[in-house]
Structure 1
Amino acid sequence: MKIKLLALTLCLLSGVSLFAQNRGHEIGFQSDNDSFLGQGSDRYYTNGFFLFYRFAKDPLTMGKRMRDRVANSVFTVELGQKIYNAQSGNLPSADYVDRPFAGYLYLGLTGNVLYKNETSVRLGAKVGVIGPAAGGYTVQKFIHNTFGFYELNSWQYQVRNAAQVNLNLDVDKLIARASAADLTFSGYLNLGTGFNAVGIGPMLRLGNFNQLYQSVSTQSTASKVNNNLLHKTELFFYYKPQVNAVVYDATAQGNIFKDHPEPGTQEIVGDINHFVFSNKLGVSLASSRIVLDASVFINTREVKQMVKSTHQWGSLTLLYRFD
């Protein structure tokens, strides 16, 4: 009898442990700002805010062939806004506008399929708008008034309104792994009315990380299955350099279907660099309930007129996991 009770207790505890690890839903936000780095700058990509809801699909709903290959699948609904400045939001004249002002507001949906061989494929679509309708000036003015920052005077130099429909494809593939380090190939392709670019590069992780099919690195911490993870809690440093070939960027060049600058406007359009080198460094944590990522981005000049040869910003992501 005691043996049966002990066996039952162990089974229940095992179930609780499994239940604690498998959280099928996540909700949270990401905040980007160049002021996070304490430089006193307010330029170029200066602010971004994003809301996320993620949910994992139960693999039992897949066909047998897919179940044999797929370890996890996650869907994301995202609402986001990005704000771009020139070298400052308070300029003496148009002569100092080295990058157009722009707001970009969108709603996105992404499907993330993660294979047992540690290849992940994310396909997403975003619909939105650039220009005054994106609310960039309104949000930046609110931030500056709330925190006592300087007065804005240059948003008349922003790009005009234009509807946006954009697709993105991201691929990650494990290259090699040791006990506390691994190397991943990462690449992306953006196509649409606003953003056309491709980028590739490696990602190095150091610390306690999990497989790519259930990790912060691939936005796949939501899961409904027990994937025999390497660690119950992820805590690792990562570095991700990337070479980007940029064909079109609507936040710098405006509406892709119109001549620039548009007649009768004060729009200033940037002449973009078609090759941009980016660096991302960060620390990630994923526990049973909380996902946290803090990172720094450093990009080379994206628009040829930019006074500064590089620009950088900080990013903070916080997600809450639940069943």
Structure 2
Amino acid sequence: MTTCKAIRWLAALAPLLAGVLPPAAARAEDAVTTPAYSRGTLAFIIENDTFSGNDRYYTNGFLFAWASPSGAPPGWTTRLTSALAPFFPAGGTPRWGLAFGQKKYTPEDTLLRNPDPKDRPYAGWLYTAFTLSSNTDTTLAVAELQLGVFGPSALGRQVQNTTHDIFGIDRAYGWSYQIKDEPGVNLVLARQWRINRPVNDDLAIGLIPSVAASLGNVQTYGSVGMTFRVGNALDADFGPPRVRPAAAGSLFFEPGETWGWYAFAGLEGRAVGRDISLDGNTWRDSRSVDREDFIADASFGAALVMPRARLTATYTIRSKEFTAQREAAQFGSLSLAFRF
């Protein structure tokens, strides 16, 4: 599946939109009367294997997400994060958020009308998510509840083939054999730590260790990871936002009054107990493959942090997820976020 033209347009538009919105320093009068970051952060994330020149395995995902502002959080968020200590750090800034996303999976050969039963099954996952987070200067904790549907009702076939028609690409013909409809629920808990050290007045280096766990009929796993960063905007966030199960940074960001940047590279390992896109339906027969129990992601990329926007690009190499998989999966991610 490809959305290259739309992605290039989105990436080109980001600096223009950031330039239209004056930086906080240029709006001193507004700063006196209106708290900065008073309406939260809106972000769009798209992941696609087109960046690797292939159309297979985890082929596409997108996520629209909103995170509440840091100032004057609702009382219930403070009470809830306090009640769930020590998972949420003491003295942290609570936020809540909403998200809507879709993920699609296909086998290696998408021209077969009856796909190879040893290849990855066709599958789609359409979901909403409610998040609760709290962060200090050095720690971020996130609890995320995902609710949705896996199967034909996730509209993976319609979205992929319509997009292929628009861009003049061959359709994927085996969607009739996709994993069947099943309601899905996941509870994800994640914790990250931010360790930054200045090199000089204009540059810093940092590490972001992370742990995460997911429990549900869609994905059950535990993960550990580490991200290395270098740049002059390391305090703006906890790394680039991603679509789970990849190591996700922070949807929100806290930029300075000038433009900043950082480059990053990371590794994450996951022990997987269940993945419906590989294991098939929970309560009835469907296509499935023999899943690998341990998966590793290697990612690298860069972030451009503007006074009111953040643009990030990530490339990920994912180890084999099922025993008959011939090669590692590769895909790229782009994220564009705005503060309001």
Q: TM-score band (shorter)?
A: 0.7 to 0.9
Which residue of the partner structure matches residue 314 of structure 1?
Answer: 332
Contact 1:130–1:160 (Cα < 8 Å) also in 2: yes
Contact 1:216 1:291 in 2 (8 A): no
Matched, 1:54 2:80: no
Kindly state the Cα deviation for residue 191 of structure 1 after the two structures are TM-superposed. Answer: 0.5
Unmatched runs of 5 consecutive residues or more in structure 2: 1-24, 83-88, 242-248
Task: Please tell me whether residue 72 in structure 1 is matched to residue 85 in structure 2.
Answer: no
Residue 244, structure 1, aligned to residue 270, structure 2: yes
What secondary structure sits across from 1:16 in the alignment?
A: helix
The question of whether the paired residues in 1 share the 8 Å contact of 2:302 and 2:312 is answered with yes
How far residue 206 of structure 1 moved from its aligned partner, in angstroms, is 0.6
When residues 169 and 143 of structure 1 are mapped into structure 2, their CA distance, relative to the original with a 3 A threshold, is same
Per-residue CA distance 1:110-169 (angstroms, 9 max, x = gap)? 1110024x1110000010011111111111110111101013211122111111011001
Aligned to 1:256: 282
Q: In structure 2, what is the Cα distance between the partners aligned to 1:307 and 1:17?
A: 59
2:322 aligned with 1:303: yes
Distance 1:195 1:302 in 2: 13
Bigger CA radius of gyration: 1
- Between the aligned partners of 2:35 and 2:230, the Cα distance in structure 1 is 25
Within the alignment, does 1:123 sit opposite 2:136 as a pair?
A: no
User: In percent, how many aligned pairs have the same letter?
Assistant: 26
Structure 1 130/88 Cα, relative in aligned 2: closer, same or farther at 3 Å? same
Query: Is residue 2:215 matched to residue 1:191?
Result: yes
Matches within 5 A, 1:98-247: 98-116=119-137, 118-175=138-195, 177-179=197-199, 180-211=204-235, 216=240, 218-219=249-250, 221=252, 232-247=258-273
Maintained 8 Å contact 1:114/1:120:
yes
Q: Distance in 2 between matches of 1:71 and 1:284?
A: 25
Give 1:44's aligned residue: 57
Amino acid at match of 1:72: T
CA distance in 1, matches of 2:261, 2:38: 18
Once residues 229 and 296 of structure 2 are traced to their aligned partners in structure 1, the CA distance between those partners, rounded to angstroms, is 20
Q: Classify 1:20/1:239 alpha carbon distance in 2 versus 1 (closer, same or farther; 3 Å).
A: farther
Equivalent residue of 2:290, what SS? Answer: coil
Q: Name 1:31's counterpart in structure 2.
A: 46
> Can you list the C-alpha shifts for 1:272-303, whole angstroms capped at 9, x where unaligned?
10001111112112222112111111100011
In structure 1, C-alpha distance between the alignment counterparts of 2:169 and 2:90, rounded to whole Å: 53
8 Å CA contact 1:21–1:288 kept in 2: the answer is no
The CA distance in 2 between the partners of 1:207 and 1:17, in whole Å, is: 30
Q: How far 1:212 sits from its partner (Å)? A: 6.9
How far 1:177 sits from its partner (Å)? 2.5
Tell me how large the CA RMSD over aligned residues is: 2.8
Measured at CA, do residues 93 and 87 of structure 1 come closer, stay the same or move farther in structure 2, by a change above 3 Å? same
The CA distance in 1 between the partners of 2:92 and 2:192, in whole Å, is: 14
TM-score after normalising by structure 1: 0.82
Partners of 1:23 and 1:222 within 8 A in 2: no
Give, as a single letter, the amino acid of the residue that structure 2 aligns with 1:205. Answer: R
**Aligned mates of 1:132, 1:287 — CA distance in 2:** 40
Gaps of 5+ in 1: 1-9, 224-228
Distance 1:255 1:94 in 2: 17
Shift of 1:57: 4.2
How does the TM-score come out when normalised to structure 2?
Answer: 0.78
